[in-house]
Amino acid sequence: ERQEVRPYNRQRLLVVANRLPVSAVRRGEDSWSLEISAGGLVSALLGVKEFEARWIGWAGVNVPDEVGQKALSKALAEKRCIPVFLDEEIVHQYYNGYCNNILWPLFHYLGLPQEDRLATTRSFQSQFAAYKKANQMFADVVNEHYEEGDVVWCHDYHLMFLPKCLKEYNSKMKVGWFLHTPFPSSEIHRTLPSRSELLRSVLAADLVGFHTYDYARHFVSACTRILGLEGTPEGVEDQGRLTRVAAFPIGIDSDRFIRALEVPEVIQHMKELKERFAGRKVMLGVDRLDMIKGIPQKILAFEKFLEENANWRDKVVLLQIAVPTRTDVPEYQKLTSQVHEIVGRINGRFGTLTAVPIHHLDRSLDFHALCALYAVTDVALVTSLRDGMNLVSYEFVACQEAKKGVLILSEFAGAAQSLGAGAILVNPWNITEVAASIGQALNMTAEEREKRHRHNFHHVKTHTAQEWAETFVSELNDTVIEAQLRISK
């Protein structure tokens, strides 16, 4: 009966992620203003036409009072968003603590924080308890809004405990979980005190997805080595129940970038940039200011290049755009000052009265400014120490049809598997190698640039975010149907 009142009778997709795709600002006791943040996930899911998507997540603000909560829920409902309210203490312990201080660095091979290795397990345990509690709060909201037949898609390392909580509510719920970061080697995952509990709860999902086959393989071997379960070509089996594990490499909405290059504002912006940097080659880095992005390593490699190639010193400029994130975490503050110090030193060393070799901006750019910058760039530098996929490399390629610039790409980004044939792949830890690749990129013939660009552009154009989301969701549906068939046989 319920299905009949739904528009077009589409199946509902409940997308559960830590953050809702909106930012909320309180205007009064019961009034809120909302702004949709156009991230990759949002545009990916806008493109999933067969499903009617709802979002469930934290709105990123603390709303302690009921009046405020009610008003926010109402405003969000118009955007098909459902809030999970987390108080400040939970956010501190779950989000800043367990998610960003433990899981994020560990999954990127940066290890566990030192103080947790020494006997101060209390903070680790209380953070893990808060993590589980927060995941349970997400599950409560999902369960409250769930209708039979809905597909539930959980996202990322914040919600590894969610599949288990959901299946405890309703074993028939179709639950998928996708990880946006790398899943590390089982030898790394083994060091996590809560290693088994997390694996078991992820395995409660019907389908588990990663960006690359390597991450999927790491996950399966963690399950076999740590839990003693059997890994099969399809996934992981536990007492006859199969959890499907597979790779679903994400993409971008490439047409959105390609179309933007025809917008007058973007064209004007490109013209200004070209005038500003006339006679110099433009190199570009766009990253969240995070240790996984290898920003200091990138800048040091650029310094080495300038050191060894005096003839290039006034002919090349590096624009590094770094959006600050997680600014209340001390390690991120340390990274910011470290980057500032290196940039200052290099500009002091190689700058002249009229020009500096590095322009470093601590902020995000709006979409149009970003597209213009991608389009005028000669060489993009993506030197992540580890990165689940890295969409900046895809966005750059999408904007390079005219220029056919070169992408220097870390072999430790998931994107190396898809854009490796067109990019110059580097080990970001090897400053000498990265410096040499800058020379190679700047001196590359037009013919070779064209050949490399063709390969990457074709990939970016044909592997879109929409396709990614559609594939995951239909695979989740199929997995559940197959499992039911297997049981009924």
Stretch that binds ligand ADQ, among 191-199, 219-227, 253-261, 280-288 (CB under 6 A): 280-288
Between CA 306 and CA 317 the distance in angstroms is 10
CA-angle at 13, arms to 238 and 10, nearest 5°: 125
Check residue 253 for interaction with ligand ADQ (CB under 6 A).
no
Closest CA to 145 of 77, 90, 206, 78: 77
Total residues contacting ligand ADQ by CB under 6 A comes to 19
- Residue 43 host element (H or E): helix 40-46
User: Which one among 142, 188, 207, 321 touches ligand ADQ, defined by CB under 6 A?
Assistant: 321
Stretch that binds ligand ADQ, among 42-50, 231-239, 334-342, 382-390 (CB under 6 A): 382-390
Check residue 258 for interaction with ligand ADQ (CB under 6 A).
no
User: Which residues are CB-contacts of 484 (< 8 A; sequence separation ≥ 6)?
Assistant: none
- 14 in helix, strand or coil? strand
Burial 111-123 (b: 16+ CB within 10 A, else e): ebbeebeeeeeeb
Between CA 222 and CA 217 the distance in angstroms is 9
Check residue 323 for interaction with ligand ADQ (CB under 6 A).
yes
Between CA 399 and CA 370 the distance in angstroms is 10
Minimum CB distance to ligand ADQ, residue 211 (Å): 7
As beta bridge partners, residue 25 has 33
Report the amino acid identity of residue 197.
Answer: E
Check residue 440 for interaction with ligand ADQ (CB under 6 A).
no
Burial 16-37 (b: 16+ CB within 10 A, else e): bbbbbbbebeeeeeeebebeee
User: Which one among 92, 225, 288, 359 touches ligand ADQ, defined by CB under 6 A?
Assistant: 288
Question: Which residue, 324 or 344, has its beta carbon nearer to ligand ADQ?
Answer: 324
Check residue 375 for interaction with ligand ADQ (CB under 6 A).
no
The distance from CA 224 to its chain's CA centroid, rounded to whole angstroms, is 27
Check residue 368 for interaction with ligand ADQ (CB under 6 A).
no
Minimum CB distance to ligand ADQ, residue 25 (Å): 20
User: Which one among 203, 370, 465, 473 touches ligand ADQ, defined by CB under 6 A?
Assistant: 370
The alpha carbon dihedral of 316, 428, 382, 112 has a sign of negative
Question: Which residue, 38 or 77, has its beta carbon nearer to ligand ADQ?
Answer: 38
3-state helix/strand/coil string of 281-312: EEEEEEEEECHHHCHHHHHHHHHHHHHHCHHH
Check residue 391 for interaction with ligand ADQ (CB under 6 A).
yes
User: Which one among 150, 253, 395, 470 touches ligand ADQ, defined by CB under 6 A?
Assistant: 395
Residue 401 exposure: Cα atoms within 13 Å on the Cβ side:
14
**In this structure, how many other beta carbons lie within 10 angstroms of the beta carbon of residue 217?**
17
- Residue 27 host element (H or E): strand 22-28
Minimum CB distance to ligand ADQ, residue 251 (Å): 10
User: Which one among 150, 287, 303, 378 touches ligand ADQ, defined by CB under 6 A?
Assistant: 287
Check residue 256 for interaction with ligand ADQ (CB under 6 A).
no
The alpha carbon dihedral of 159, 165, 166, 171 has a sign of positive
Measured in degrees and rounded to the nearest 5, phi and psi for residue 31 equal: -130, 140
Minimum CB distance to ligand ADQ, residue 212 (Å): 10
User: Which one among 61, 247, 365, 436 touches ligand ADQ, defined by CB under 6 A?
Assistant: 365
Question: Which of positions 1-40 make contact with ligand ADQ (CB under 6 A)?
Answer: 40
Check residue 364 for interaction with ligand ADQ (CB under 6 A).
yes
Minimum CB distance to ligand ADQ, residue 260 (Å): 12
Helices (H), 148-212: 162-169, 186-189, 195-203
Question: Which residue, 378 or 395, has its beta carbon nearer to ligand ADQ?
Answer: 395
User: Which one among 81, 137, 250, 406 touches ligand ADQ, defined by CB under 6 A?
Assistant: 250
User: Which one among 181, 201, 320, 418 touches ligand ADQ, defined by CB under 6 A?
Assistant: 181
Question: Which residue, 151 or 415, has its beta carbon nearer to ligand ADQ?
Answer: 415
Check residue 392 for interaction with ligand ADQ (CB under 6 A).
yes
Paired tokens of 397:
């390629």
Q: From residue 401 to residue 430, what is the string marking binding to ligand ADQ with x (rule CB under 6 A)?
A: ------------------------------
Check residue 390 for interaction with ligand ADQ (CB under 6 A).
yes
**Which value, in Å, is the radius of gyration of the alpha carbons in the chain?**
23
The alpha carbon dihedral of 430, 433, 439, 445 has a sign of negative
Q: From residue 56 to residue 75, what is the string marking binding to ligand ADQ with x (rule CB under 6 A)?
A: --------------------
Stretch that binds ligand ADQ, among 256-264, 274-282, 348-356, 363-371 (CB under 6 A): 363-371
Between CA 367 and CA 362 the distance in angstroms is 16
Stretch that binds ligand ADQ, among 27-35, 90-98, 285-293, 472-480 (CB under 6 A): 285-293
**In this structure, how many other beta carbons lie within 10 angstroms of the beta carbon of residue 3?**
12
Check residue 180 for interaction with ligand ADQ (CB under 6 A).
yes
Minimum CB distance to ligand ADQ, residue 290 (Å): 7
Residues lying near ligand ADQ in the complex (CB under 6 A) are found at: 40, 180-181, 250, 286-288, 321, 323, 364-365, 370, 387-392, 395
